[in-house]
Structure 1
Amino acid sequence: MKKIFFSIFLSIGSTIAAQNRFFYEYKFVPDSTDKADVKKEMMLLDIDKNGSQYYSYDKFKSDSTNKADMEKQLRSNSGNFTINRKDKPGQVSYKVTKEYPAYKTYLFTTVSIDNYKISEDQKPEWKILPDKEKIGEYNAQKATTNFGGREWTAWFSTDLPFQDGPYKFYGLPGLIVKIEDKTGTHSMTLVGNKTIEIASDKELELPQGVQIFGMGGNDIEINKNQFKKIWKSYVNDPTKNMREMMMKNSETSKVTFKTRTADGKEISDPNQVFREMEKKTKERLKKNNNLIEPDLYK
C-alpha cells in the first residue's frame, strides 16, 4: 500500500505522545440531486491507548492558522479583533472521538458560533459475512450495519489489531479499512498509515466575555435530541447567535465582521454582512442535503 506522509508545521503544546495515524480518503456527494459532483477529503484517524480521533486534515491546518492569527491579535492588547469570514479550506468540519475501553463516542461540530459535543447513544450492530476481499495490501472481511439513517457495508482487517474505524464506526475484530453506504454517496477507504508523535493542543484563551466563532471556551455537551432542536433553530435563522454575540460584546470590545459577496466585493457593515451570511448559509444548506448521518439532522 502506498503510504502518505504529511508535515504539520504548527504545533502548540507540551506533552508528546505516540499515536497510530491512519489516512482515509473520504468520497461523498453533498447534493443528492447532483450525484456526478463527488467531493474528496483526506481524513485522519489517530489512535492511541486512550481512544481515537477522526477529523479532516485540511480543517486541522486551517484551524491552526486561524488560531495562530488570533493569538497574535490577542498579544497586541489592542482590544479590537478582526475576523475575516471566508470559506474554510477543507469540506468536513466535524470531528469524532472515541474513549477506550467503552468506546464512548462523541461528535464535535459547530452550529453558528457555538461548539457542541454530542454524545452517541447508538452502538453499531454488525452482521459479519463470510465474504473476503483484498483492500489495498490488507486481507479484509465483509460486515454490514444500519446506522444513522443509512445502510453501510464495511470491510475490516484483522491484520490491523484495532476494533475501530472512521467516523462513529467501531466494534469489528479488526480495523475498518473501507466502508460505504448503500447509495454509494459516502465512502471511506484507508490509503496509508504511520506512527507519529503529536503534542497536546492548548485551548485559546480569549478575554472574558468574548466569544469568536468556535475559538476558545468549552464545548456544549448535549444529546442528539437536544442537537436536533438547535439545528432546526439554526436553519430557520442562521445568524441569530452571531447578532446576539455582537450586541453582547459591543460594550467590552469592538468585533469586526467581514465577508465577500458573490462578485468578490468585501463588505464590513454588520447589517450587510449578516444578510450576506444568511443568504450564503441558506444556499449552502440547500445544496448540502445528503449528510453522512441524516437521522441527526431531521
Structure 2
Amino acid sequence: MKILKLTLIAATISTVAFAQNADKALARVRYTFSHMRDTTQRDNFTTENMLLVIGKNASVYTSYDKINRDIEMRKQLEEQIRSQAGSSNGISINRTSSKPVTSIDYFYFANENKFFTKERLISNYLIEESAPKINWKISKDTTSFSGVKCQKATTYFKGRNWIAWFAPELPFQSGPWKLNGLPGLIIEAHDEKNEVKFQFAGMDKVATEDQPKTQDQTITFPNGGTGTVKIAGMDGITYLGTEIKLPTDAIKTTQKDLDKLKEARDKDPQGFMNAQLGARGISGNFSRNVTIGAPSTGTKKLIFNNPIELPEKK
C-alpha cells in the first residue's frame, strides 16, 4: 500500500499542461464497432457504439456507450446527493448495464503529428506518442454509405490488412480508432478477415450552442471523508461540447507505469481508490461513502485471443 501511494504521488507530480491547443468541434461521427474477440467462436462478435468528434486539426475517438453510461451514473449521483443532503448514509451507484465498453480514448492532432491515448483510473492518465504512420494505397474503386460518396484505400497496419472507405468531399484526416491520414474522413473500415469492423452509423454537425449535458460541480461526502471531490465530466460527457481538447488534469505516464497501476487496482480496488483520492488531497475511508459498480456481485474478467492490434509480421 505504501508503494502504491508513492507511485500515485509521483504520478501526480508529473501532471503537465500539454502544448496542444483546443480545436473547435465541427462534427460528430457515429460508428458501430464489431470485434471477433475469440477466433474459436467466429460467429460471436462484441458490438459497441462509438463516437468520433472531428475538427479542422484535432479529433477524439471514444465509446458512445461509455458516454451514455456515464451520463446515467452522473444522474444517479446527483439525485442521491440531493435526497441525502445532511445524511450520513452512503452513496451507491449501480450501472444500468454490465456490458464492457472501450476504456481508452484516442486523441489525434494532425498538424503536430501527435497522438494521445487517455484512460481514467479515478484520475486521467495520458500517454503521448507520435502519430502512427500508415502507408495507404488509394484505389479508383468507389461506393457510397448512407449517401456519402467514398473511395477505397488499403494498408497493412498493426498486424492486419485493412480496407477503408474514405470521403474525399469531407476533408478530415481522421477516422475510427488509430486509422487516419487519408485525404478525407474514413467512413468505414474493416480488416480483410472481417474480424474487426467500423461501420458508419451517422454524422451530425456540432451546433455552436452545444454544451456538455451536465456541468462540473463540487460534492462534499458525508462523514468519513474530508474535503470535496469535483466530478469532472465522468469521462466522455465533455466530448458532447463544442471543443476538442486534452483533459487539463491529465497525468502524463507511460504504458509500463499505467499497467503497474492497473495491477495495483485489480489487487486492491478499495485501497487503490483511497490512495488515488489521497494523492489529490482528499482523505478518509471512502468505502463507507461511495460505491460505484454493476448490479451483480462480481465482474468476470474477459479473456480473448484476438486483440485489434496483432504482432507485426517479421
Q: Same fold (TM over 0.5)?
A: yes
Instruction: Please give the secondary structure, in 1, of the residue aligned with 2:78.
Output: helix
**8 A contact 1:25–1:40 mirrored in 2:** yes
d(CA) in 1 for partners of 2:172, 2:62: 18
Aligned to 1:56: 63
Q: Which SS does the other structure have where 1:199 is aligned? A: coil
Q: 1:117 to 1:214 in 2, by over 3 A?
A: farther
In structure 1, the residue corresponding to 2:273 is in which secondary structure?
helix
Q: CA deviation at 1:37?
A: 0.9
Gap change, CA 1:143 and 1:79, over 3 Å in 2 = farther
How far residue 158 of structure 1 moved from its aligned partner, in angstroms, is: 0.8
1:144 Cα deviation after fit:
0.7
User: 1:175 deviation in Å?
Assistant: 1.1
Task: State the Cα RMSD in Å.
Answer: 3.5
Aligned pair partner of 2:307 in 287, 291, 295: 291
Aligned: 1:220 with 2:229: no
Structure with more relative contact order (C-alpha pairs < 8 Å, separation 6 or more): 2
Q: Percent identity?
A: 26
Residue aligned with 1:238, SS: helix
Cα distance change on mapping 1:226 and 1:184 into 2, 3 Å: farther
Displacement after TM superposition at 1:214 (Å): 9.4
1:147-173 Cα shifts (integer Å, max 9, x gaps): 3x4443322221211111111221111
Establish whether residue 102 from structure 1 lines up as the match of residue 112 from structure 2.
yes
Q: Which residue of 2 aligns with 1:139?
A: 150
- Per-residue CA distance 1:109-159 (angstroms, 9 max, x = gap): 245x45422223351322314351314231312131313x44433222212
Distance 1:241-1:154 versus aligned 2 partners, 3 A rule: same
Query: What is the match of residue 199 of structure 1?
Result: 211
Matched, 1:33 2:45: no
8 Å CA contact retained: 1:180, 1:188: yes
Match of 2:75 in 1: 68
**2 CA distance for matches of 1:58 and 1:204?**
23
User: What are the ranges of 5 or more consecutive residues in structure 2 without an aligned counterpart?
Assistant: 1-23, 221-226, 236-247
Query: Contact 2:217 / 2:231 at 8 angstroms: preserved in 1?
Result: no
Change (3 A) 1:33 1:206: farther
Question: Which deviates more from structure 2 when the two are superposed, residues 205-214 or residues 23-32?
Answer: 205-214
List per-residue Cα deviations over 1:61-89 (Å, max 9, x = no partner).
Answer: 11112123223444525465423354446
Work out the CA distance in 2 between the residues paired with 1:104 and 1:193: 25
Are the structure 2 counterparts of residues 291 and 251 from structure 1 closer, same or farther at C-alpha, using a change threshold of 3 Å?
same
| Residue 195 of structure 1: how far off its partner (Å) | 1.0
Task: Tell me, in whole angstroms, the C-alpha distance in 2 between the residues paired with 1:32 and 1:160.
Answer: 35
- Counterpart Cα distance in 1 of 2:142 and 2:291: 52
- What is the CA distance between 1:97 and its match in structure 2? 2.1
2:218/2:228 contact within 8 Å kept: no
**Contact conserved, 2:154 with 2:161, CA < 8 A, in 1?**
no
Q: Distance in 2 between matches of 1:36 and 1:213?
A: 39
Q: Which residue of 2 aligns with 1:271?
A: none
> Counterparts of 1:290 and 1:83 in 2: how far apart (Å)?
35
Aligned partner of 2:176 in structure 1 is 166
Alignment map for 1:224-263 (pairs within 5 Å): 224-231=255-262, 233=263, 238-246=266-274, 250-251=284-285, 254-257=288-291
Contact 2:136 2:182 in 1 (8 A): no
Answer whether contact 2:218 2:230 (CA < 8 A) is retained: no
Q: 1:192 to 1:253 in 2, by over 3 A?
A: closer
Residue 242 of structure 1 deviates from its aligned partner by 2.5
- Between 1:197-206 and 1:38-47, the stretch displaced more is 197-206
Residues 244, 61 of structure 1: alpha-carbon distance in 2 compared, 3 angstrom cutoff: closer
1:24 — aligned with what?
A: 31
**Alpha carbons 1:41, 1:56 under 8 Å: kept:** yes
Q: In structure 2, do the counterparts of structure 1 residues 239 and 77 end up closer, same or farther at CA, with 3 Å as the change threshold?
A: farther
Alpha-carbon contact 1:79-1:253 (below 8 Å) kept: no
* Separation in 1, partners of 2:29, 2:100: 18
| TM-score, normalised via structure 2 length | 0.66
Whole-Å Cα distance in 1 between the matches of residues 142 and 126 of structure 2? Answer: 36
Paired with 1:90 and 1:57, the residues of 2 have a C-alpha distance of: 12
Of residues 126-135 and 71-80 in structure 1, the stretch that sits farther from structure 2 once superposed is: 71-80
1:187 aligns with 2:201: no
Equivalent pairs counted in the alignment come to: 256
Q: Does 1:44 align with 2:61?
A: no
